[in-house]
Structure 1
Amino acid sequence: MHEKHGLSVSVCMATYNGRAFIEAQLDSILPQLSKYDELVVSDNSSTDGTWELLQAYQKKDQRIQLFKNEQPGVIGNFEKAIRLGQKELIFLCDQDDLWQTNKIEVMRAYFQEHPEVTVVISDLIIVDNDFQILVPSYQAMRHTKPGFWHNLLRSSYIGAGMAFRKELKDLILPIPKEVPMHDMWIGLLADHTKGVAFIPNKLVYYRRHGLNTTEIKTTASKVQQFSWRWKAWQLVRKRLRENKKKA
Structure 2
Amino acid sequence: MISVCIATYNGEKYLEEQLDSILPQLASQDELIISDDGSKDATLAIIKRYRAQDSRVKFFNGPGKGVIANFEFAINQSQGEFIFLADQDDVWQPEKVQITLEFFHTHPKIELVISDLVIVNEKLDVIEPSYFEYRNVKLGFLHNIVKNKYIGAGMAFRSELKTRILPIPAKVPMHDMWIGLIAAYGNKSALIAQPLTLYRRHSDNASEINTKASFYQQLKWRCAISYVLFKRIFLNS
224, 232, 235: which is aligned to 2:228? Answer: 235
Aligned-residue RMSD, C-alpha: 1.2
1:178 aligns with 2:171: yes
52, 55, 71: which is aligned to 1:59? Answer: 52
Aligned twin of 1:5: none
Aligned twin of 1:36: 29
Consecutive unaligned residues of structure 1, counting only runs of 5 or more, are 1-7
Cα offsets for 1:127-155 (capped at 9, x unmatched): 11111111111100111111101111111
Q: Tell me the TM-score normalized by structure 1.
A: 0.92
How far the C-alpha of 1:120 sits from its partner, in A, is 0.3
Amino acid of the structure 2 residue aligned with 1:34 = A
Aligned twin of 2:201: 208
Amino acid of the structure 2 residue aligned with 1:75 = I
Amino acid of the structure 2 residue aligned with 1:63 = R
8 Å CA contact 2:33, 2:78 repeated in 1? yes
Amino acid of the structure 1 residue aligned with 2:13 = A
8 Å CA contact 2:115, 2:195 repeated in 1? yes
Aligned twin of 1:145: 138
178, 191, 194: which is aligned to 2:187? Answer: 194
Structure 1: distance between partners of 2:31 and 2:5: 9
Count of residue correspondences? 234
Alignment of 1:101-116 (within 5 A): 101-116=94-109
Q: Following superposition, which runs of at least 4 residues in structure 1 exceed 4 angstroms of deviation?
A: none
How far the C-alpha of 1:242 sits from its partner, in A, is 4.1
Structure 1: distance between partners of 2:139 and 2:76: 25
Consecutive unaligned residues of structure 2, counting only runs of 5 or more, are none
Structure 2: distance between partners of 1:53 and 1:143: 36
| Secondary structure of 1:77's aligned partner | helix
